[in-house]
Structure 1
């Protein structure tokens, strides 16, 4: 009966005349939402209707929607008139989460330029690569990033707008103060008719093992992605009415605590742009800190938190989580990596009335793939949910010859949200996009009820003497062991087997390697038991989206063993 309700809600939402009506081309091909914004600037402007409601909270700053859009228009006028920014030009943003980031993004889109968010966690080489690779003609950065790039920017004379510049240090000739530009007399902004297929965004992939690639997306792809995310919210509400009523009756204003970086789809699309369009408050964190997060949830009445599994684990582990400090928290979402069954069970147990959720998507798909939330999340928390209604999923080495349900293999996606290609990398683009299908590099399967389940990464398979071992399976197993806080499995060279399984562990209590190996041996096949176990007292190295940097672990271990 419950599943029938889910299917009924789904069919109702995508039916003709619905805001989420799905169009299936007569000759086959990619399905799409009929009613989406024509371009990203138009999608952003939908937030103007929220007027004097509070939108952004960050440290001492508070902005209403009206105040936010006033800053957007002022900056867009400066970009257009003072900097002569033209449609198609690339503009980079390099700063930590703060209101100026969100203002800059919208202003760039108003000018029809291509936004290039750079990894604010990145060191000099990574930032310089993004600037050079994208051919950015303008940079908006905070003072911390300016100090890292001072010599490089000066050598190139790259036009730079600095947020929060150090008042004690005069800016170079090629730099201007962000605050001064906003305070100047407003300048006109041209009205542009942007082509939906024009480029809008270059997001750099995480780059855990190699130089990051620029993922180029069109206005159409991003607007379809936003509608897909809004569909999932509507479906969750319609299919889990009892959970939604608890939130509505709580009296708390919808407020998202945002701790994930804006230079990633989970922050940019699923949190910033969705909140802007829906009229939700955003409470920004400059960087993740679990105690500060709990303070903000308590003080600002945050109702929603989405984060990487390691962030959620830290939140749940705090003694404060069970108390009044999280009374307002009704929504908890996971993304950016696989979650252990222990974490999923803890979420459901600790907040049984909450709207839990997770999803599956890539930068190359603008974060769109499958999603799950509410009652469905409680039903199958380890799955990623049903593929969204404009997404086709096929499993196997060839998308034209898909494997049957329940059989694991390579995951292929087809949807209107896919990237146009990798920036200036035609060969890599052709290898990843094949006849409209995206090779995700992930492995998984569709179960008998249509839920997508992820089993690992193709590149995360350890070839132990011909036996393929999934790193994700080992990690999921050991993370269920009491005391284990985080773990990463990876390959190390072996003279006899080619590769052997290694495991890096950080635990809350003293655990020895043999105890860890015995725990895994009791649950997994003998060939999956790690040959080497490395115990860490400090957090495992991660990138900005929460993924463990296994290449860094491998390098450290190679130096240690040599």
Structure 2
């Protein structure tokens, strides 16, 4: 730890106190909600319609760049007003669901905003979902309208199609409405939405890495408080990293983010689409994720920020052109979605100038992305942590019986606060299982340090119990990834008669390299205790299976590796 990084966390704590004090921009107030008091930002917008009304002030500034076309805020809101006007005439009212199923494109954002303007509930679907998955989500939602692109329409239409109006971008098939025609109509001002802070605002589906995805229902207040929290994180990062901020400001470039993460998750919707809309910032949409194409866009569009899953960031760093100042010289930071970064990712970022304002956070769909965050000097001070806990969230580390554990003790991370979901849509049993005594049980294992930093160790299901010794899969994965010839690694438990569970791993070797199971076991043995060395290592040619958000489908991988027919 250097004196500069140590000073960084001191400055972050000082900035946090200043920014949340009475009369400050991010003043935090305490309100009673049910049986407990919760903290809120006094100055956050109460509802999405109120936030959107303020965002119109950005006028003719560029908002979204997509396939060579620029959408200004003026154009974006003109189309949103036209679509909202049509939705109102079609009978969409506050509380009605409007589903969205399309790849990242400007029309996705228009459909979302038009729905929110009316106080209706946008419900983005996993655009990578196949017919059965999309039908299941639509049957659960019972939306009045579905906005989709031709590819998603082809998956949904026909037998089992939802009983709702379908609006299709590009060429609209017979029986559907044309998005282009609706957006081109003269817009009548949409009615002022009759919604309050406690009314429903959004349904987002969990990633469904291990089971069928569940719809997460959040209130207007929860979403708006979460969006304001993103601004708070930025303010703390700037105040605690003044030299890095000065370097970025000296370039004189407008803040521009390359958006490659799906908009149907909080990392894309909250932190990018809505954050940029609120603050007048520019987004560059990728048509599909490809690291080489992403570098082209970073250079051509003078991108200043890239946020993505750890696997996406590592792929970007592995590109030979990444270290060319002509390509990435304008990047001020790299953001990691998720937590528990492998050591190699940390090393790769910290040794590069683009890592000056890099960061990571911890949050879930169920908390609207709010939990903890670290950026700039705080990230450099403790890159293995997930940062400082948000001032509007309560975080408690609990044991298996639900008892609070002291600082430094490892247990399940539980959250409570204003940004927490109302519950899972149409699933009271799942809601009751996840929220107990007012606390949302995340299923993540971690601890809080003396400095107030959250460290996420692993998922509960990914902690391996070998003869009573608890082994974090993430620790072994990080060790494996230190081997220069490995591309990916995943660690999981496998049944063992002698120890109950044994450590197993699946790895992908870099193209053109060769490694044996014994060589990799020796590598782990040189760095970790003997009981943590994988008993089996499955060497794969194909990439590890992941969902559209970049989350590893460890259950699928484990079944494939341990299948008796293998």
Q: Distance in 2 between matches of 1:456 and 1:360?
A: 12
Q: Distance in 1 between matches of 2:65 and 2:354?
A: 28
The DSSP-based 3-state class of the residue aligned with 1:6 is helix
Mapping of residues 362-401 of structure 1, within 5 Å: 362-397=364-399, 401=403
The DSSP-based 3-state class of the residue aligned with 2:235 is helix
1:245-278 per-residue CA deviation (whole Å, 9 max, x = no partner) reads 1111112111000000000000000111111111
Q: Distance in 2 between matches of 1:356 and 1:18?
A: 26
Distance 1:362 1:464, change over 3 A: same
Partner of 1:159: 165
Verify the 8 A CA contact 1:55 1:64 in the aligned structure 2. yes
Matching residue within 87, 102, 110 for 1:79: 87
Verify the 8 A CA contact 1:44 1:273 in the aligned structure 2. no
1:50-74 per-residue CA deviation (whole Å, 9 max, x = no partner) reads 1111111000321111111101101
Partner of 2:259: 258
1:217-247 per-residue CA deviation (whole Å, 9 max, x = no partner) reads 0111001101111100011111111111111
Verify the 8 A CA contact 2:503 2:533 in the aligned structure 1. yes
Mapping of residues 43-442 of structure 1, within 5 Å: 43-81=51-89, 83-152=90-159, 155-165=161-171, 171-173=173-175, 175-323=176-324, 324-351=326-353, 354-397=356-399, 401-442=403-444
Verify the 8 A CA contact 2:138 2:162 in the aligned structure 1. no
Partner of 2:549: 545
Q: TM-score scaled by structure 1?
A: 0.95
Q: Distance in 2 between matches of 1:358 and 1:46?
A: 28
Partner of 2:3: none
Verify the 8 A CA contact 2:333 2:354 in the aligned structure 1. no
The DSSP-based 3-state class of the residue aligned with 2:136 is helix
User: Structure 1 residues 57-66 or 186-195, which shifts more?
Assistant: 186-195
Task: Give the deviation of 1:353 after TM superposition.
Answer: 6.2
User: Structure 1 residues 1-10 or 318-327, which shifts more?
Assistant: 1-10
Q: Distance in 2 between matches of 1:12 and 1:304?
A: 26
Verify the 8 A CA contact 1:309 1:338 in the aligned structure 2. no
Q: Distance in 1 between matches of 2:247 and 2:162?
A: 56
Query: Is there any run of 5+ residues in structure 1 with no aligned partner, and where?
Result: none
User: Structure 1 residues 96-105 or 384-393, which shifts more?
Assistant: 384-393
Q: Distance in 2 between matches of 1:188 and 1:271?
A: 27
Mapping of residues 478-517 of structure 1, within 5 Å: 478-508=480-510, 509-517=513-521
Q: Is structure 2 residue 538 aligned with structure 1 residue 534?
A: yes
Verify the 8 A CA contact 2:9 2:381 in the aligned structure 1. no
Verify the 8 A CA contact 1:399 1:412 in the aligned structure 2. no
Verify the 8 A CA contact 2:413 2:446 in the aligned structure 1. yes
Q: Distance in 2 between matches of 1:205 and 1:286?
A: 23
Distance 1:5 1:466, change over 3 A: closer
Q: Distance in 2 between matches of 1:248 and 1:204?
A: 37
Verify the 8 A CA contact 2:339 2:361 in the aligned structure 1. no
Partner of 1:474: 476
Task: Give the deviation of 1:495 after TM superposition.
Answer: 4.0
> How many residue pairs were aligned?
555
Verify the 8 A CA contact 2:508 2:544 in the aligned structure 1. yes
Q: Distance in 2 between matches of 1:98 and 1:2?
A: 38
Verify the 8 A CA contact 1:137 1:158 in the aligned structure 2. yes
Task: Give the deviation of 1:24 after TM superposition.
Answer: 2.6
1:349-385 per-residue CA deviation (whole Å, 9 max, x = no partner) reads 1126621111000111000000000111111111011
Task: Give the deviation of 1:543 after TM superposition.
Answer: 0.5
Query: Is there any run of 5+ residues in structure 2 with no aligned partner, and where?
Result: 1-6
Distance 1:498 1:39, change over 3 A: same
Task: Give the deviation of 1:14 after TM superposition.
Answer: 0.3
Verify the 8 A CA contact 1:97 1:284 in the aligned structure 2. yes
Cα RMSD between the aligned structures? 1.7
Task: Give the deviation of 1:304 after TM superposition.
Answer: 0.4
1:105-158 per-residue CA deviation (whole Å, 9 max, x = no partner) reads 0001011111111001111111111101122221100101111112146x5443
Q: Distance in 1 between matches of 2:187 and 2:39?
A: 42
